[in-house]
Amino acid sequence: MVAVLAALLAGFTLFFLYSRTPAWRQSDTKMALMQVLIVVGPMFGMRFDRPPPERPAVMGGLGPDQEAAPDDPRTPRVP
């Protein structure tokens, strides 16, 4: 039992050290694991939602074919 735990700890330590190297960052194994996680993740509730679309910064005024409501604040004040 102690030998199994020692082997697991050694394997985890070696993988941890290897995962910090440039060879791991550019490897096909890493990309394959990421694709598996993206496929398997939704089965456990992890969803990758797209961000909402950006809203325009400024709201436009009335168009040429639109009439303003009587209480519309965008209409000019008549003295």
Is residue 12 over pLDDT 90? yes
Is 58 inside a domain boundary? no
Is 56 inside a domain boundary? no
- Structural domain boundaries enclosing 30: 2-44
Domain count, the chain: 1
Is 27 inside a domain boundary? yes
pTM of the model: 0.42
Is 7 inside a domain boundary? yes
Rounded-to-integer distance, Cα 27 and Cα 40, Å: 21
Is 39 inside a domain boundary? yes
Is 24 inside a domain boundary? yes
Most confidently predicted of 3-12, 15-24, 63-72: 3-12
Per residue in 17-51, pLDDT tens? 988 998 888 889 888 988 888 888 888 877 767 77
- All residues at 6 or more sequence positions from 74 whose CB lies less than 8 Å from its CB, including other chains: 61, 62, 68
Is 34 inside a domain boundary? yes
Look at residue 61 in the predicted model and tell me its pLDDT.
63
Look at residue 7 in the predicted model and tell me its pLDDT.
97
CB-based contact 34:40 (threshold 8 Å)? no
CB-based contact 49:43 (threshold 8 Å)? no
Q: Which is it for the CA torsion 52, 30, 34, 13, positive or negative?
A: negative
Is 50 inside a domain boundary? no
